[in-house]
Structure 1
Amino acid sequence: MDAGGTSRAAPGPASEPSEVGERLRRLREARGVSLSALARAAGIGKATLSGLEHGTRNPTLETLYAVAGALGVPLTALVLAPGDPPGSAADVRGAAVTATLLEVFSEPQATFELFWMRVQPGVVQHSPAHAPGVTEHITVHRGVLRTGPGEAPLVARAGEHVSFRADVPHEYATVGPEEVVANLLIRSPRAL
């Protein structure tokens, strides 16, 4: 469902796996990080990371965030080619969350990524820590959401807003049987 409430066709994972893999490889090499070192930093297997770089594995939202966090880049650095409009990125999916990129805003100090997010009931999605200083800001439109750091989750109902530091492991889940529909704004500070 898009921001206007219209259903969207269910595209595959973020962009084509080969495009995501190529962006990932370029970012890793530009930082002078080995495949093994990045896999360790992201907490994923070296074979998984190699498969992502070669476009033979479909990345999940959790894996993309783990790699983006380890590289210190926003998620859109992996799923969106420079110059492409945000709407050209396919939905990204995790265990419970499906996120549609609506817009990317850049300022000298930070990048802001705005997503339309749906959280399916009955599943808890555990998200790895993002890069240092990243915060998430969520406005719930439908349902009841439990989110935030696992030790201190926050609850928001339709019409409510929550914010938290996302540079620690955090989670997303519904409270009750209703799907959650929300906007997610991720603020990623730029390295100075």
Structure 2
Amino acid sequence: MSKAKALRAEAQETEGDDVGGAEMARRVADNLRRLRKERALSLDQLAASSGVSRAALSQIEGSKTNPTLLILWKIAVGLGVPFQALLGTEEVGHARVLRATDTAPLRSADGRMESRLLTPGGASPGQEVYELRFQPKGLLRSEPHGPGTTETVVVLTGVLRVSVADEVHELAPGDTIFFRADVPHSYENRSTREARCLDVIAYGRSG
């Protein structure tokens, strides 16, 4: 690979649907560094298990870039941890209210898909709840999560196409789908109206 191609590939990993501002980049950097060291993984080893280049991982750990949503998912899978483990952890007492303004939505590069984490950090390490919004032609492709991971998706508004491995399902408001998420899966809005759903991810032992 030429140097120019390598730089373009690296840019694709660190640009686009980034996860937020400088504070979020610092939090991700700190958590990534801690999680990697806890597992005694070198940058090269994590690059091999996640599919994210060593150069991109180094930039993320150095708070030099905001990683894309897709890259964060890949890193989480490579580390064997829930997605929110990279975003930060907080102590939760008997109850905690998460206001609508407490979590910034993560958007795809084209702006047609939006994801908002509804689970406070540290509330339930093995489970995460997301609100997903898809504008017309909105698409989210997800890499396989760790072995044993499952997802339950409830469509609130609009029509959503959910593909799991080689199966395709069309879901209308009120419909629910439960599936193994340790295989490739995707969500797509082929209609002309916004589609919105809740996605509950229950992680297997390896995350």
TM-score (norm 1): 0.81
Aligned to 1:8: none
Q: Secondary structure at the match of 1:103?
A: coil
1:15-44 deviation per Cα after TM superposition (whole angstroms, max 9, x unaligned): 611111110111011001111111121112
Task: Trace 1:20-169 onto structure 2 (pairs within 5 A).
Answer: 20-83=28-91, 88-95=102-109, 96-103=112-119, 105-106=123-124, 111-169=126-184
Q: Which runs of 5+ in 2 are unaligned?
A: 1-17
Flag the structure with higher strand content.
Answer: 1
Q: CA deviation at 1:97?
A: 3.0
Distance 1:149 1:57, change over 3 A: farther
Aligned 8 A contact 2:148 2:205 in 1: no
The whole-number CA distance in structure 1 between the counterparts of 2:138 and 2:118 is 24
Structure 1 or 2, whichever has the larger Rg, is 2
Q: What 5-or-longer segments of structure 1 have no aligned partner?
A: 1-11
**1:117 shift after superposition:** 1.2
Tell me the distance in 2 between the aligned counterparts of 1:190 and 1:43: 21
Distance 1:56 1:186, change over 3 A: same
Q: CA deviation at 1:164?
A: 1.3
Say which SS state the counterpart of residue 167 (structure 2) adopts. coil
TM-score when normalising by structure 2: 0.76
* RMSD between superposed Cα atoms in Å: 2.2
How many pairs align?
Answer: 177
- How far residue 167 of structure 1 moved from its aligned partner, in angstroms, is 1.2
Is the alpha carbon distance of 1:53 and 1:148 closer, same or farther for their aligned partners in structure 2, counting shifts above 3 Å? farther
Contact map agreement 2:161 2:189 (CA 8 A) in 1: yes
Q: What secondary structure sits across from 2:145 in the alignment?
A: coil
Deviates more, 1:182-191 or 1:87-96: 87-96
